[in-house]
Structure 1
Amino acid sequence: MPSSRSAVAQVSMSCAVLRVLFLDDRETDILPIRHALESAGLPHTYRVASTGTQLRRALASSDWDIVICGDSVQELPALVSLQIVRELAPAIPFLLICESPRHEHADTLVKAGAQDYLQKDDLTRLPFVVLRELRTATERRTRMQTEFALRRSEERIRLAAGAASLGIWSYNVATNVIDWDAQCYAVAGIPAGTIITPELFESLIHPDDRARRREVLTEAIRQGSEAKMEYRLVRPDGGVRWILSHGRVYLDGDGTVREIVGVASDITDRKVAEQALRASEARFRGLSASSPVGIFQADLQANVSYTNPRLQEIWHMNEPEILGRGWTARIHPDDVSHLIEGWSDASSRGSSFEIEYRLLLPDGETRWIFGRSTVFFNEAGLPMGTIGTVDDVTNRRRAEESLRRSEKLAAVGKLASMIAHEINNPLEAVTNFIYLAETSSEVNKETQSYLRDAQHELQRVSQIATQTLQFHRQSNRQTRTAPSQLLESALALFARRLSEQQVTVERDFADVPAILIHASDIRQVLVNLLSNALDAMAGTPGKLRLQLRRVSTSADGTDRIRITVADTGPGMESAVKARIFDAFFTTKGEKGSGLGLWVSGEIIARHGGRIQIRSRKAESGGGTVISFTLPVNSFE
């Protein structure tokens, strides 16, 4: 048995001063009790209540550590006192001090809730009883506080689970029953209160998910850890709900499973949204892959993060090469800064952007691109990046250029008609008058010489007008013609000049298909090029090289026929080469009209082709090479 001092020490640890409520109406009965407490070294304060009203007031006005009740209070019987204390302060210990060893009401009071009773003439046990009851009361209060906190915690969990649409469940191994809350029953479509056994629950799970769920649960039990899984529940009405379940396994001291507790959430809406998103992404990928225009996504600094196959085809690059700023490697140097600045400015303002710029492909070909982009925003309304499209508009640009040429040619045509009708007729009359004057016997030789010079100049003017009119009157009839036949027929016209100038001809003709062209126009081009080549080699023996090839140089893969005429003449200066295709520019003086190469260039452009010249000025070893290309299906 502990000593009085140790008892006092333990009580002092519980409370600094013991607060005692005496229920008695005689001070002589209270004094021995107080003396016993003081003798045991228990400091205390006290208050006396002798009526029910006083007792209620005392309980309401202060917190008491213990109630000590005498058995002789006339107006406040002990049983009534106990009932009041249990009603208003059930946690306070209640002790009865009675006269005789077996007070008639002592056992009744203990059964009714009194903690203990002592004899009035034997209070030696009082300090220990007080200590015991204080400790018990403290433990009881602690337990009640713990239980209250637990109830509060459970209530908060239920409220949080309800707000998050979480169902709470547990599996008791001993009873082999799964406990569900109302949310679990509602999700499963099972009447609340139905006893859920593991077998019943297993039958609700989709057949395709049962094995996987068992594997996850078995592994969690083996490790004594958390089990997280997704599975489908098939409701009695046939509906299917996706469930995300988190459970924790609790083990006994010997390592056996005691209980599994967890939460479950209905994620059907999320799964439906994910499926819709996957379907949407699949549709986008399909549309993107088959799109006739290039599609891209980039950040606000023009760093590309996605491209579709068509854009990669236009760029002649694969996606890893394009991503980031890699795409700028194909942009024409003169267009890069303008494109980036315009894009960045529009993106920072959150506006759309449209621009035409050029791509420079590895084979040297230039392609025109039309690009447009639109800014997309986050939930806060801030710009996040851009999506856009690009389209190869080279053919459109060529068509526009062809239209401009046609308009220019129409103007030239009007001029040619005017020349033909307004100039040729007067020229013919003047020519006749000069002829008559020249043959007149009255004109002296000096005047006849002047008249012959005038006649020559009039013939030159007539030739210029005739060439212009011939160019305007292009044949409307297209024929499928073999390029080699055109070359040979044009070359045959110069057989005598070739012999006289001692020019040898080298032919390098590949096997190429016949093409649909205005044959007479292309023959006119060849005649002009051959004539210029022979003029360049006049006075010295030379070599004329003719080449015919099928090539593919465009981004869209169009096959072309390339015809090349090369001479070994002295070549030309850079300044001359820069103007060689200008109308009325000639290096032949009075012999040239300056229309031959200009007309040739226009004819080739009208066929959708290109004409190029390479020349190097040198006294020996120079020469000029002129090539032009025609699409295999020029006018189909």
Structure 2
Amino acid sequence: MDKSNKQLQHTSEFIAGPSVPANPSYESETKFRDTVKQAPVGMAILRGEDFMVEMANDAYLRIVDRTENEIVGKSLFTGLPEVREYVEPVLLNVLHTGIAYHGNEFEVTLRRFGQPALCYFNFVYQPLFEDGGDAASGVMVVATEVTQQVLSKQALQSSENQFRNLVTQSQFAKAIFKGRDLVISIANESMLNIWRRGLDEVVGKRLVDVFPELKGQKFLDLLDEVYTTAKIYRENEAIAYVDGPGGLKKHCLDFQYAPIFELDGSVSGIMASVNDVTDKVMLRQQFEETATRLSMATEGTRLAIWDLNLQTREVIHSGRLAVIFGYDEATVLSHPQMREQVHPEDRQAIVEKAFQAALETGIYYYEARIIHPDQSVHWVRTQGKVFFDDNHVPQRMLGTMMDITDRKESELALKTSEGKFRTLADSLPQFVWTADPGGNLNYFNRSMLRYSGHSGEEMVRQGWLELVHPEDRAESLLLWAKAVQEGSDFAFEHRLKRADGEYRWYQCRAIPQRNADGVIEMWVGTSLDIHDNRLFIDQLETKVQERTQQLTVANDELVRTNMELAQFAYVASHDLQEPLRKIQTFATRILETENDNLSERGKDYFVRMQASSTRMQQLIVDLLAFSRANVAEKHLENADLNLVLQNVKEQLSHIIQTENAVITSDNLPHRHVIVYQFEQLFTNLIANALKFIGPGRDPVIDIRSGMVAGAAIPLAGADAAKNYQFISFADNGIGFEPQYKDRIFQVFQRLHNRAAYEGTGIGLAICKKIVENHKGLIDAVGKPGVGSTFIIYLPVEA
């Protein structure tokens, strides 16, 4: 068989698989080409060094996304120029050497649908030989596209890498065991710490080979069960023995075994997640043992013990606790029941507050009252400690309680250890510092160190005085030395330098801490930032000074105005009244000497002139009285108001007799008053009652006094927190409508015309001003045709 027939036979076997050897005499080229055309894989025949495409089946055309016209009868690289760089060297090598070339997952970029696309192929480049020739005349290409398989494999590999990274970077201990033999594939740092092994000591080895001590323990059987059943297994606080430097060591583990599935659903491995809780379990066991020992130690004493689950609020307590709450030892109490027996005044203010503080600080302490079922009150002292989990979540509270009713102890400050104190101090934004009994500062919290920019050693070495502003140092040092010497509290405001050089105001305080014998053991100090408040106070003082200056100017202006008003009063009193007196005098003389020579109209003019001048004179007098009530100096004297009333009645005796008036009065109080103003007040009120007489009846004026609460006074301005003395003037005159009660106290306000009742309309305004000068109130109540009542309210003197 020649080379050509051998090649055709090889090609047929490649396409259709092994068969009975073909007989070349019965095989035709046409049949061969038809067979190639129908092949499910891409096939093409290339001729010569130009690699002319002699034939390409449909599968090949689909692979390269070309039509038969675009590629057959042309050089391969004319139709597929984008593959020349990758393919031509390989084809030339096959053509020249006559050795076939096999490519697997060969990467090439093809133009598909007008766009370049990255593709992967498995192919064979088979040389073609002519009859009798030793050199290959062409190359047969057999290609299968595996792009999707390659991309899927790459995605799977990427997913596996991500999974491995997730396991490796997890903060929880994790490891992956492959196959039923449990070969360790991955173990992260946390798992290696638990195993106490290096990564090179475990990866690629069977779990049982790394830890032969697991034989006979349940873990290998559990792993095999998870592999077989494909079900997750979890367990908490399982006991395991692992070999270490000191031999087998007991561990308590929370763990989970989870199956790892392949794409076909089969289990290919197991992921183990482990948390070593040995320390937590041992600590709990220690707690339980401690509670047992404590219960035995306190048996027969007055000390009760209790254990509270902070998650469920379930409490376990000794029998002594029930006795403390007023029950027999066999009684079991609940936490809400005990809390309910706390005295109402102490429940929120002391117990609840201490409980909430304990959840933050870990320390539980209080002294409070409880109420027994027989309603008797007892004092108890409770001390306890909170235990937290790894996430600082409070889990349990363990403590004791003692009845201290018979010996209520004096308050003692709870002394904490230095470590706890520093932890608390470092969490505060305020500055906290301590000093030894001699006053040498030896500790500064983090806030103060951050503020100063120095370390603790630098602060102790350089001294806190270096932070104090130079202007404040001498006094700070003097007061601190005095406090240390006398053992008294230290308090001072000074400026402290910040790390950036800025000074801020701080209020510094320090208190000596003494032992039971009263000896100072240390000093605890704090420094509070008051810079903004200090600046505000300085600004406020500046504004007060400015306002004081303004008030001084205003006061000077007021004094000047009062002087001018006094001058006006003098002028009004003398200069204005003098012409009026002359007018009255001349009018009187004319009427007396020229009476016979005047006509009736002339006489009427002179009478009217006299009346007008008289009214003008009265108006001036009333205005002077009102002005005097406004600006007069308030020289208060302790006066008997009964004598003041008597003087007024004597001054008004003529009109009282003329009107046949009756005035009755209570025993009036003694008060510090401006005497002449109260004479004016009583005069105006009585004269007002004698002026507005009711028709057909003699005037009656009833004066009463007494006490009244400020809250009962129906006037704005009354102080409800004060008591008042009242003096009322009630008459049986013409009265007034209630809506005019405020109007009658205004200057020049009259309810009747001048023809009906004389007056200037100033009298009651003067009364109101006099009452206000004595920090009092005045009210009026009237009813037309019945009468009026004027009530004076004066605050009770201290």
TM-score, normalised on structure 1? 0.41
TM-score, normalised on structure 2? 0.33
Work out which structure has the larger RCO, using CA pairs closer than 8 Å and 6 or more positions apart in sequence.
1
